[in-house]
A and B are shown apart, each in its own frame.
Chain A
Amino acid sequence: MRIEVQEAPFDFAAECGRFAEGRSDMGAIVTFAGVVRGDGMLSAMQIEHYPGMTEKAIAAIAVEAQARWALGDVLVIHRYGLLKPGEKIMMVATAAPHRKDAFEAAEYLMDYLKSRAPFWKKEQGAGGEGWVAAKDEDEDALQRW
């Protein structure tokens, strides 16, 4: 398991290539990247986080995923700071012997990272700036787990 909370960009292709490399017992690898969507007049996204708690919260979510599914490895990278449209905000990768575990665990990680990891997004654009409000549907998404 590897958790990275960083301001710097990450190399998605390289991370995917390295992840669970050589693990012939892992029949399935799922990777997901979250990208800043250039909706409307969005010019940048400022991501704030809670240093110390962020790493712990993500690790707790990853440990729970490992308890629920047969996972060989988990990777979460999440950035903070100023990001432009098109930049990758975060990624998760899961490796499992079978694809169902890898897919479900990746979705679980995403659902929990959205509303249980202490990050806050502020959008900046031509019309000014504003904090992104949490969506009810993101909270509802946790109910299925």
Chain B
Amino acid sequence: MEVLYFAWVRERIGLPKERIETDAATVADLVEQLRNREERYAMAFADLTALRVAVDQELTDFDAPLAGAREVAFFPPMTGG
């Protein structure tokens, strides 16, 4: 699936998106796999309360299932308007 990062999450991880092959059942499982990859991921995902997630461009929770998902995005709380 495509994994996208925005704002300071993108800066900390150092790339805007990447293709990841994963068997993660939920967003939380995917986060755990990413954290275990490298320090920069562990840093970016250190505090999940500071992050929001969208699956297939819909805001959701970290316990959301990933079955059939094509795109997951991680970002800080939004500051539009």
C-alpha gap A139/B81 in the complex (Å): 13
State the majority secondary structure of interface residues on A: mixed
Chain B residues with Cβ under 8 A from A118's Cβ?
6, 54, 73, 75, 78, 80
Chain B residues with Cβ under 8 A from A57's Cβ?
57, 59
Known contacts: A50-B73, A120-B7. The answer to whether A34 contacts B78 by CB under 8 A is no
Known contacts: A48-B6, A50-B4, A50-B54. The answer to whether A116 contacts B76 by CB under 8 A is no
Partner of A121, one of B4, B54, B58, B79: B79
C-alpha gap A110/B79 in the complex (Å): 11
Query: Can you name the residue of chain A whose Cβ is closest to the Cβ of B77?
Result: A134
Q: B57 touching A120 by the CB < 8 A rule?
A: no
Interface size, chain A (Cβ < 8 Å): 26
Chain A residues with Cβ under 8 A from B7's Cβ?
48, 120, 122, 131
C-alpha gap A131/B58 in the complex (Å): 23
Partner of A120, one of B4, B54, B76: B76
> B residues near A, CB below 8 A?
4, 6-8, 54, 57-59, 73, 75-81
13 contacts between A and B (CB under 8 A): A48-B6, A50-B54, A56-B57, A115-B80, A117-B78, A118-B54, A118-B73, A120-B78, A131-B8, A131-B79, A132-B79, A133-B77, A133-B79
